[in-house]
Amino acid sequence: MSDSLLTTAAEVFPRMLEDSAFLFAEDPEGAIDFRTPVTGVAIAYEGPEHGVLHLWAQDAFMRSLAANMLGIDETDEGALNRRFDALGELLNIVLGHCLTERFGESETMKMGLPHRLDLAELEADKLSGIWLSVEGEPVLLAWSDPS
């Protein structure tokens, strides 16, 4: 497991979240209440090392994210319709910055496109990823090796 990439992702995530959507992440307090429905997005990368970075979240976080990125209200239909796209784009931004910080600007990295995952694909080992809390909503960053 690329602990270092995941650790870097956990450091990069709050900054990118703030810059993209003016939302603030913090370490979760107390037990994580990860209720269904839960959605994940994943992006594969290749370079000096390869892997897949995952971001799992619940609907409430995704709607807040989409609403803030778009400057609309969370109850607006646009926030509902674009919540999955917003989650994928946030992961894209986090991974892009993460790879530069981890491997440097001179390294050529190849990133895939975000793809959506369903709850059935949330394997038990990914629950050992890094949990963050955004406005009280749990978010999980996880990593896997596709090979």
Partner 1 sequence: MAYTVLLVDDSETIREAMVRAFAMAKLPMDEILRAANGAEALQVLRERWVDLVLTDINMPTMGGEELVRAMKSDAELSDIPVAVLSSDGSKSRIDRLSALGVVGYLRKPCRPEAIRDLLHSVLGEWQ
Enumerate binding residues for partner 1 (CB under 8 A): 16, 19-20, 66, 69-71, 78, 82, 85-86, 88-89, 92-93, 95-97, 99-100, 105-109, 111-113
Q: Which is nearer to partner 1, 28 or 112 (CB)?
A: 112
SS3 string, the chain, reads CCHHHHHHHHHHHHHHHHHHHCCCEECCCCCCCCCCCEEEEEEEEECCCCEEEEEEEEHHHHHHHHHHHHCCCCCCHHHHHCHHHHHHHHHHHHHHHHHHHHHCCCCCCEECCCEEECHHHCCHHHHHCEEEEECCEEEEEEEECCC
Q: Which is nearer to partner 1, 12 or 122 (CB)?
A: 12
User: CA-CA distance, 49 to 115, in Å (whole number)?
Assistant: 20
CB of 98 to partner 1, least distance (A): 9
Q: Which is nearer to partner 1, 60 or 111 (CB)?
A: 111
Q: Which is nearer to partner 1, 34 or 44 (CB)?
A: 44
CB of 13 to partner 1, least distance (A): 13
CB of 129 to partner 1, least distance (A): 20
CB of 123 to partner 1, least distance (A): 26
